[in-house]
Structure 1
Amino acid sequence: MKNTLIDRLSRRMAYTMIEVLAAGAVVAIGTTAAVSLSASLIIQEEFTWRVAVVRNYEENMARLWQLGLSAATVQNILPTRANNPLLAQQIFGTPTIQELGITGLDADASKTQVHVHVEVANVTASVNIGTDPNPVGGTQVQGAPQTLKVCRPIIR
């Protein structure tokens, strides 16, 4: 009575070793994909944070210059990479303000000519996209520099 109907059905309903190994491989592949995606999302979030910090710094430079400060004064007011280790990790090189001089903006609105003269400057900063941004012994890699063209009215 060893070969009963219940014994035969139980043998057919059990998983074979091949099926168990295949299921384990699928679970392992899924877990590996999740870990890989998680790591890439963390790196992307860090790079996004760096870009936000550098663009904010660049915009602060532009706004201070628009308020009437000279380029040298703006450079002296804002924190530098040398005295701020967090900025040293985020910013590649030294952000600059290049004053381009005075230019005229002409507008013909409603057949009335308006002539406005403004000072123009380029504000440039680059993001450090190195995977190890530590300024001492780390890898500094320049990201694409962004240049803002900034105008301010002539008030003097």
Structure 2
Amino acid sequence: MKPSFQSRPGGYTILEVLVASAMVGVVIGGAVALAGTMNLQVETAEVTAVAINYHDNASRLWQLGLTPSEVLAVLPHVTNNRMLESAIVPSGTAPGIQVSFTGEGTTTLANSMGTLEDVTCTVTIRNPVSTAHQTLSSEVYRPSIR
């Protein structure tokens, strides 16, 4: 007795191939979008790390007793420095100045413990995507030594 259904020849129908192709396309599109997002995150993290490191170095040099102009003379400048150029927005009107010191003053400690010099150290971190840059400021203190 012969079976009532007929076997079809091996292979895939055009519909199966189209569905499989669409699924592969969705996966490849997701991978491309993820790679672009990851590249942007890496660039943002690198820019932020360079700017924070620069800010920290400027603050520490000032704490060691250098004047703001001496700090600027010691730190590297944007000129011919790709990393700093991509990470820090120059401050002020003078070209090549990446960090600013403002609000220099003296703070008297309680109980006649002496005085501290204080200054605000500011660096502007470049946003790799837009012009909405981020400003990083901190109050820095040192014993009165000058």
Name the TM tier (shorter chain). Answer: 0.7 to 0.9
Q: Give 5+ residue unaligned stretches, structure 2.
A: 91-97
1:99, distance to aligned residue in structure 2 (A): 4.2
* Paired residue secondary structure (2:66): coil
Aligned residue number for residue 96 of structure 1: 100
1:82, distance to aligned residue in structure 2 (A): 2.5
**Equivalent runs, 1:107-122 vs 2, <5 Å:** 113=111, 115-122=113-120
**Equivalent runs, 1:1-150 vs 2, <5 Å:** 5=3, 8-10=6-8, 15-93=12-90, 94-106=98-110, 113=111, 115-131=113-129, 141-150=131-140
In the alignment, is the contact (CA less than 8 A) between 2:51 and 2:125 conserved in 1?
yes
* Paired residue secondary structure (1:27): helix
CA distance in 2, matches of 1:142, 1:92: 11
Q: 2:127 corresponds to which letter in structure 1?
A: I
- TM-score normalised by L of structure 2: 0.82
CA distance in 2, matches of 1:46, 1:72: 30
1:116, distance to aligned residue in structure 2 (A): 3.8
Following superposition, which runs of at least 4 residues in structure 1 exceed 2 angstroms of deviation?
7-11, 13-16, 82-86, 113-116
Question: Identical aligned pairs, as a percentage?
Answer: 31
CA distance in 2, matches of 1:23, 1:74: 62
* Paired residue secondary structure (2:124): strand
CA distance in 1, matches of 2:117, 2:103: 8
Q: Cα RMSD over matched residues?
A: 2.4
CA distance in 2, matches of 1:8, 1:127: 72
- TM-score normalised by L of structure 1: 0.77
CA distance in 2, matches of 1:46, 1:92: 16
CA distance in 2, matches of 1:147, 1:82: 23
CA distance in 2, matches of 1:84, 1:74: 17
1:105, distance to aligned residue in structure 2 (A): 3.3
Q: Which moved more, 1:80-89 or 1:48-57?
A: 80-89
Q: Give 5+ residue unaligned stretches, structure 1.
A: 107-112, 132-139
Q: 1:154 corresponds to which letter in structure 2?
A: S
Q: How many residues align?
A: 138
Greater strand fraction, Structure 1 or Structure 2: 1
* Paired residue secondary structure (2:134): coil
Q: Structure 1 pair 78/142, CA: closer, same or farther in 2 (3 Å)?
A: farther
